[in-house]
Structure 1
Amino acid sequence: MDIVCSTDCCYVMQTGIMLTSLFENNREADIRVHVLHNGIDSNSITLIERIASDYGQKITFCHVDETLCSAFPIGRDGQNTHVGTSYATYYRLFLSELLPKDISRVIYLDGDIIVMDSLNDLWATDMHDKAIAAVPDSYNNKIEHYNRLHYPQPLGYFNAGVLLINLDYWRTNNVVSAFCQYASANPDSLYCHDQDILNYVFRESKITLPLRYNMLNEYWF
């Protein structure tokens, strides 16, 4: 099971907690974690490596050159401030280029989540030649987000915090180019950064997952 997460110097603690919950609730799984980062310090790397080692799991680190993200807006007026001003949120857009070619699918997990159960069933989900599988976002029923991104509301809008990604599809369809083109043409529309880009580009190539795989805070109220 290949798991991917992104972090920076401000999110190492949260990422470590997320990984602990992942390993604790998937003790029988053979997990390989790929950590995308922009140059976190050696102490942080050692901390994360120790967590993986304590559970007998594998972990690798991939340093991302942030010039890759030059086409993507960050910190603009009107953008969601939940993700701060870090380009780390965009790293997942380059997974098809950053990860080895023999990896055909991954589960992406945000650093601020807690894994509460086995991910085996999610990992085994039939992708049906679709690009991505995800849970609907709390914005799913808000027409203003579809108007902003310029696609029909019936196609739906997902949350990018937990994703099952079909890397074979991404590579075959050169989605990185599509991501960059959409961001360059619509910088003022990207309120939710990479999440908006993923939703537009994959608006007709996605699978809707059960809510249990990404229980957002808003769903509890």
Structure 2
Amino acid sequence: MREERLHVMFGMWDLADPYNQHIGVTITSLVMNCSLPVTVHLLYDENLHKDSPGYRDNQEKYRQLEEQFGVKIFYHHIVLPNYVLHTRGGLGYFSPGWPPSAFFRIFSPDLLVDLDWIIYLDGDIVVNTDLAEIWKRRLVGEEFAVACCRDHGPEYWKNSRLRYCKKVGIPTEGYFNSGVLLMNLRKIRDDYTIVESTKEILMNHPDLPLPDQDILNIIFANDILFLPEKYNLPAGLDQGDCYKSSCVHYIFCEKPWRDIDYPAAKEYWKYLSLSPWGDTFEKIYSTIQLMTYRAPLDKRVLTGSILNLRTFLSNLLRRGWNDVRGVKKLRW
């Protein structure tokens, strides 16, 4: 009998990019909490920095993930059309333009032709629950294009954003976050022309604030199954201990690898220390150093991280390496 495996997809624009570390953390957390064996599909542009040390180093770490956790990783080369590459969306606090990898999920039905279903995850997520539970939703006979969680954004949108949504046809009722998606690839291939629809939307509305997410909401507005909030729980909102049994999504600008006291940061650091990107002190040191350099001045002073990095690291070691590896809670 063919082994049942959970298939999950990530969009990684460049295998040389340091962001691969965060995807590695997401994969580590996923496989450590999943009751099914996992197959990972990495969508990327293989032409970028292919001969660089970072490219080869990340590939080696993904190989170590396979060996350590029994996960299977497949690489899928993708080239995006120019109308996507030239898209310039943007909320004020994002850099101009949009990460091209954000659009990979839109092109996945035609790229992953051997798969009928897949789970898509953003790379700024820690999975503290068993995703096999939502993977089984594909067996219940319900017809839906995507299963997803409601987005908290509409609760906080300004009137200008709401007026814009009405103007271009972005639904505000039932608006979903696209960071965690169970995608019915077969239905999408059969019932939608998602690539053509994306091109038309971008041509008519090149200034979409959240282009990839807005597009998916426009296309699938009436073909959604909503999942419990725990499968896409925003960090940064006061969620108490719910982080321990959910998919923690670091949706805001600050991230746990940038902000010393970011909500649920310990969840990220725990799985980083268990992944090939942080399983030795030498590896995790560079992330700690980068984080302290990025910290706001008041936090640098409070932690002594920049003014006295040696003291900061000594204190970290004094707490014990087991704290960082998740035996105890990590406290900054």
- 1:59 matches 2:73: yes
Q: Is 2:185 the partner of 1:171?
A: no
**2:7 matched to 1:18?**
no
Q: 1:180 aligns with which of 199, 205, 224?
A: 199
Larger Rg: 2
Q: Could you tell me which residue of structure 2 aligns to residue 158 of structure 1?
A: 176
Render the CA deviation track for 1:118-149: whole Å, top value 9, x for unaligned. 11111111472221111111113346544323
Deviations for 1:58-79, whole angstroms, at most 9, x for unmatched residues? 110112113x353465445656
Q: 1:3 aligns with which of 8, 12, 28?
A: 8
Residue number in structure 2 paired with 1:209: 227
Residue 40 of structure 2 is matched in structure 1 by: 33
Moved more, 211-220 or 82-91: 82-91
Q: Are residue 129 (structure 1) and residue 177 (structure 2) matched?
A: no
In structure 2, C-alpha distance between the alignment counterparts of 1:93 and 1:117, rounded to whole Å: 26
Structure-2-length-normalised TM-score: 0.60
Equivalent pair of 1:75/1:84 in contact (CA under 8 Å): yes
| Greater relative CO, 1 or 2 (CA 8 Å, sep 6+) | 1
TM-score by length of 1: 0.87
216 and 127 in structure 1: CA distance in 2 versus 1, 3 angstrom threshold: farther
Query: Aligned in 2, Cα 1:152/1:77: closer, same or farther, shift over 3 Å?
Result: closer
Q: After TM superposition, where is structure 1 displaced by more than 6 Å over at least 4 residues in a row? A: none
Gaps of 5+ in 2: 1-5, 49-54, 240-332
Given that 2:42 and 2:75 are in contact with CA atoms closer than 8 Å, whether structure 1 keeps it comes out as yes
C-alpha change, 1:186 and 1:18, in structure 2 (3 Å) is same
Distance 1:218 1:163 in 2: 21
**Structure 1 residue 176 displacement after superposition:** 1.8
Provide closer, same or farther for how the CA distance between residues 123 and 220 of structure 1 changes in structure 2, counting only shifts above 3 A.
Answer: same
Shift of 1:184: 1.4
Equivalent in the alignment of 1:148: 164
Identify the residue that residue 87 of structure 1 maps to in structure 2: 100
Count of matched residue positions in the alignment of Structure 1 and Structure 2: 217
User: Deviations for 1:145-187, whole angstroms, at most 9, x for unmatched residues?
Assistant: 4432333756321111100101011101222211221111111
Secondary structure at the aligned position of 1:32 is classed as strand
Match of 1:110 in 2: 122
Distance 1:77 1:197, change over 3 A: closer
Whether the aligned pair in 2 keeps the contact of 1:90 and 1:194 (CA below 8 Å) is yes
Q: Is the CA contact (8 Å cut-off) linking 1:140 and 1:156 kept in structure 2?
A: no
> What is the distance in 1 between the residues matched to 2:146 and 2:93?
23
Q: Secondary structure at the match of 1:155?
A: coil
Conserved? CA contact 1:140–1:158, under 8 Å: no
In the TM superposition, residue 34 of structure 1 has moved relative to its aligned partner by 0.1
Secondary structure, aligned partner of 2:154: coil
Asked if 1 retains the 8 angstrom alpha-carbon contact of 2:165 and 2:171, the reply is no
